[in-house]
Chains A and B, each alone.
Chain A
Amino acid sequence: MREVPALAARQPGAVHSALAVLEAVAQLGAGVSAQRLSAELGLPRATTYRLVNLLVEDEYLVRTPDLAGFALGAKVAQLAAVVAPPARLSSAARAVLAEARRTVRGGVHVALFVDGRVAVVDADPDFPLSDEARLAREPARYALGRLMLLSQGDARVPELDRARADLARWGATRQSGEVAAASGCLAVPIVDASGLAAGAVAFSGPRHRVDDPDAVLSALRPAADALAPLVV
């Protein structure tokens, strides 16, 4: 029953084709039809239809009210935010961070919370983040994402109840052995002038250092306090 394009859209080339479709919609302007896109891109019609429908499902494209045309969705701006070069920390901030990394001996990262996303500004080059893409996709699974969701007042995710308790007790959110059995992470808020978490200093490393976080926290808390006036 499946049309041939079902296959084509699963091939690695599909990502390329999808970006080409977005590019073509940007070039041809809002209201362009799927038929026109197929002609413009030289893609088979059925493949084009499948691609545009997938892009509409994910809101990268929207159909115009007559259903025949397409326009770029507001969501494509997020694509740009993901690939945009991260802001560089000031040298004063980098000095604070370098000191924290020397003390902690483990991954120490700085992230800012922008538009409901975790933007990693400075990842530890010696202990890189395990999976940044997954952090963006499923924030509630990571200490950084949990802190970000809590700072937004997001109450729907069940994992957050424990995170809220962690934050009250330790002044940090944690994730311990939930993503990989032997490791964990924790995030200490960088608080802006209004008292909200605008970002975080995060630690990722062996699980036992997260389960018993006093040692790590004693290094990260001063770092977060020192970074606050420098980054937010």
Chain B
Amino acid sequence: MTALARAIARPDPVAGFGDRSPLHGLERRRIGIVDLAAQSVAAVAPAAAATTVVLLVAGLAPGATVTAIVAAAILSLGVARTVSQFARRFAATGALYTYTARGLGTRAGLAAGAAILTGYGAVAMFALLGGAYYATYLVAGLWPTIDRALVTVLLVVAQGVLVAFVLVRGIRLSARAALVVEALSVTLIVVLLVALLVQIGPIDLSAVAGAGVGGHLEPTAFAAGAVIALTAFVGFESAATLSVESVSPLRNVPRAITGTVMLSGILYVLAATTQVAGFDALGADLASSASPVNELAEAYGLGGWAVVADIGIAASFLACAIGTSTALVRVLFALSRDGVLPAAVGRTHRRYGTPATAVAWALPVITAVPVLVVAGGNDTHEAMHVTIGIGAAGYIVAYILVCVAAPVFLRRIGELTVGAALVAGVSALALAAALVAFLVDDASAGGTVLTVVAVLSVAATVAVVALRRRHGTGALGAYDEPVAAQVLGGVVSPRHPDDA
């Protein structure tokens, strides 16, 4: 009789497993790979980024737009792969926060938590503002006399209420809503881009690839372009926050994360190629255009399509608000289950199995900040610029921490490989360089983002020091542990006394 046959016939008792997961209360194993990927894609909002970020990249790195986007995609793939090292080993709604806490301990974990909350929170505000901005633009086309600021405020509030409702009403509804809205927006943009490409006709590939001006390309301009392009990818990791709610999370979450980077990369390259080639063929300057897709559509006789693009972009922003808020409340939920936030925040809705209390805490703040900013007489577009900048800084800090944490974690569990360490190390260095470049660039442009990031960093440091004293080392990082019933011969052990 083999050892395996013996173990199956008469299992040895295995202690050390609880009778329920520390992350109990959420609706478990509910959504499949498509809905899971939709979460990540929605948080990235590729349809909105394809039209806005490409323009920014073209402004910073003319002649190397596509190359800069490809470089950012490769860096994002490195981060995605490193995040997957954690995601394929355990399921945690805290995602980057929990991963970092497991690798580097309490202090770094809390820092990553603060950074990713900043990222999700600021990008959720950005998305509410963006959705309201484009919707106001559409409404103003119908009634030119309306008070734009008032309409924007009302639209922000309406979207905030809608997001909160969808989030509480169950993961299937919010994932499906994000999927439908995002699929709609991506399809609209792709159709428009392909229609434009057909109209433009044969493309001068050397001009698109930047080979024509390769000799004159400045490395600093290229780097600045790549850093901005990176902000178009952030959010791809957010599927990890749905680990508990996903079917086969250890398999599907890494696939969803990597797939999102690939899909976004392809869309951005398509968008950049169309816009660069289109303006090249017109003999116009892409970087000085205010709204390149609209102008191209106009120039190539597809004027009516511009409205379609605007609807697509507004939809993409709404999906982005749903996606980032979904991720945000799950990080809050994880922080509460770790005892960092009050236990009430970790309460789930009895019927829908969603972190409803965390939604009730987070959504009013996410909605109120943009409302106050717009009501205070600030320009919506300027507010969007600042919130996306703060969000990107938060994401990049969290990515750096998780990339540093990965090799340490893998070494601790005895599963470190050279390849994994190399990918994580190179990604961390490149991200750190990108962050510095990003903040230096902002400082030269007025420094609003830098100021807010500095204030948030000080606040986060104070919080981390205080909480570190309360929690000690190695106390954080609760994940979806297997329960005794999943273990052959598993015996329930009282591992979580407060759960009893």
- Chain A residues within 8 Å of B, Cβ to Cβ: 1, 3, 19, 22-23, 26-27, 29-30, 33-35, 45-46, 49, 53, 56-57, 59, 62-68, 71-77, 79-80
Task: Report the bound CA distance from A27 to B250 in whole Å.
Answer: 25
Give Cα A101 to B415, complex, Å. Answer: 56
Return A67 CB to nearest CB of chain B, in Å. Answer: 5
Q: Which 9 A-B pairs have the closest CB atoms?
A: A27-B3, A35-B414, A26-B7, A26-B3, A68-B413, A72-B488, A62-B482, A26-B4, A30-B14
Beta-carbon contact of B12 and A29 below 8 Å: yes
Across-interface contacts of B485 in A (CB, < 8 A): 74
Contacts of A76 in B (CB 8 A): 4, 7-8, 488
Closest beta carbon of chain B to A214's beta carbon, Å = 40
Please indicate the chain B residues that have their CB under 8 angstroms from the CB of A1 in the complex: 77, 81, 423
Smallest distance from the beta carbon of A22 to chain B beta carbons, Å? 5
Q: Confirm or deny: B216 has a beta carbon within 8 angstroms of a beta carbon on chain A.
A: no
Q: Tell me the bound Cα distance from A30 to B493 in angstroms.
A: 15
In the bound complex, CA of A211 to CA of B162 (Å): 48
**Which residues of A lie under 8 Å from residue B469 when comparing CB positions?**
none
Residues on A with beta carbons closer than 8 Å to the beta carbon of B8 = 76-77, 79-80
Instruction: Tell me whether B351 is interfacial, beta carbon within 8 Å.
Output: no
**A71 contacts which of B251, B487, B495 (Cβ < 8 Å)?**
B487
Across the interface, B17 reaches (CB within 8 A) one of A27, A65, A72, namely A65
Q: Which residues of B contact A (CB under 8 A)?
A: 2-9, 11-12, 14, 16-17, 77, 81, 88-90, 102, 248, 250-251, 412-415, 417, 419, 423, 481-482, 485-490, 495
Q: Which residues from chain A contact B415 at a C-beta distance below 8 Å?
A: 34-35, 49
Knowing A1-B81, A57-B251, A63-B89 are in contact, say whether A72-B487 is a contact too (CB < 8 A): yes
Q: How far is the CB of A17 from chain B (nearest CB, A)?
A: 14
B5 touches A53 (CB 8 A): no
Contact of A62 (CB < 8 Å), options: B2, B3, B12, B487: B487
Contact A73 to B414, CB < 8 A, known contacts A26-B4, A26-B7, A63-B90: no
Q: A3-B419, A27-B3, A74-B487 are in contact. Are A68 and B414 (CB under 8 A)?
A: yes
The smallest C-beta distance from A157 to any residue of chain B, in angstroms, reads 14
Minimum CB–CB distance from A74 to chain B (whole Å) comes to 5
CB A79 to nearest CB in B, in angstroms, measures 8
A71: B residues at CB distance < 8 A: 14, 487-488, 490
Residues in B with CB closer than 8 Å to A65 are 16-17, 481, 495
Complex alpha-carbon distance, A35 and B248, angstroms: 25
- Beyond A30-B487, A72-B11, A80-B8, 20 additional contacts (C-beta under 8 Å) are A1-B81, A1-B423, A3-B417, A26-B7, A30-B14, A34-B414, A34-B415, A56-B89, A57-B250, A63-B482, A65-B16, A65-B495, A68-B412, A71-B14, A72-B488, A72-B489, A74-B486, A77-B488, A80-B5, A80-B9
Query: Is B6 touching A26 in the complex (CB atoms < 8 A)?
Result: yes
CB-CB under 8 A from B5, the residues of chain A are 80
Q: In angstroms, how far is the closest chain B Cβ from the Cβ of A35?
A: 4
Query: A30 touches which one: B12, B251, B486 (CB < 8 A)?
Result: B12
Report B84 CB to chain A, min CB distance, Å: 10
- A65 to B482 CA separation, bound complex (whole angstroms): 8
- Cβ A33 vs Cβ B413 within 8 A: yes
Contact A64 B419 (CB under 8 A): no
Instruction: Report Cα–Cα, A56/B481, bound state, in Å.
Output: 12
Residue in chain B with minimal CB distance to A23: B4
Residues A73 and B487 in contact in the complex (CB < 8 Å), given A26-B4, A26-B7, A57-B251: yes
Residue of B nearest to A46 (CB): B417
**B4 contacts which of A22, A35, A57 (Cβ < 8 Å)?**
A22
Residue of B nearest to A62 (CB): B482
Query: Given the complex of chains A and B, what is the CA–CA distance between A141 and B12 in angstroms?
Result: 37
Q: B481 — nearest CB in chain A belongs to which residue?
A: A65
CB-defined contacts of B77 to chain A, threshold 8 Å: 1
> Which chain B residues border A35 with CB–CB below 8 Å?
414-415
Report 12 cross-chain contacts, Cβ distance below 8 Å, ordered by A residue. A1-B77, A26-B2, A26-B3, A26-B6, A30-B12, A46-B419, A53-B88, A63-B90, A72-B489, A73-B486, A76-B488, A77-B8
Q: Distance in Å from the Cβ of B406 to the closest Cβ of chain A? A: 13
In angstroms, how far is the closest chain A Cβ from the Cβ of B426? 12
* Contacting residues, chain B, for A56 (C-beta < 8 A): 89, 250
Q: Considering the chains assembled together, what is the distance between the CA atoms of A67 and B90 in angstroms?
A: 8
Which chain A positions have C-beta within 8 A of B412? Answer: 68
How far does the alpha carbon of A46 sit from the alpha carbon of B419 in the complex, in Å? 9
A68 and B412 CA atoms in complex are apart in Å by 8
Residues of A near B417 (CB, < 8 A) are 3, 45-46, 49
Interchain CB contact (< 8 A) of B486 among A26, A27, A62, A68: A62
**Contact between B488 and A57, CB atoms less than 8 A apart:** no
A183 to chain B, nearest CB (A): 30
Residue of chain A at shortest CB distance from B250? A57
How far is it, in angstroms, between the C-alpha of A73 and the C-alpha of B4 when the chains are bound? 12
How distant is A37 from chain B, measured CB to nearest CB, in Å?
10
**Measured between alpha carbons, how far is A75 from B11 in the docked complex, in Å?**
12
Residue of A26, A33, A79 with most partner-chain B CB within 10 A: A26
Asked if residues A53 and B250 are in contact (CB atoms below 8 Å), the reply is yes
Q: Which residues on the B side are within 8 Å of A68 (C-beta)?
A: 412-414
Task: Return chain B residues, CB-CB under 8 Å to A27.
Answer: 3
What are the residues of chain B within 8 A of A19 when measuring CB–CB?
Answer: 4
Bound form: Cα–Cα A227–B81 in Å: 56
- For the complex, what is the distance from the CA of A68 to the CA of B88, rounded to whole Å? 14
The CA of A228 and the CA of B166, in the complex, are separated in Å by 50
Task: State how many angstroms separate the Cβ of B5 from the closest Cβ of chain A.
Answer: 7
Judging by beta carbons under 8 Å apart, are B487 and A53 in contact? no
Q: Which residues of B contact A80 (CB under 8 A)?
A: 5, 8-9
A137 and B251 CA atoms in complex are apart in Å by: 18
Contact of B89 among A29, A33, A67 (CB under 8 A): A67
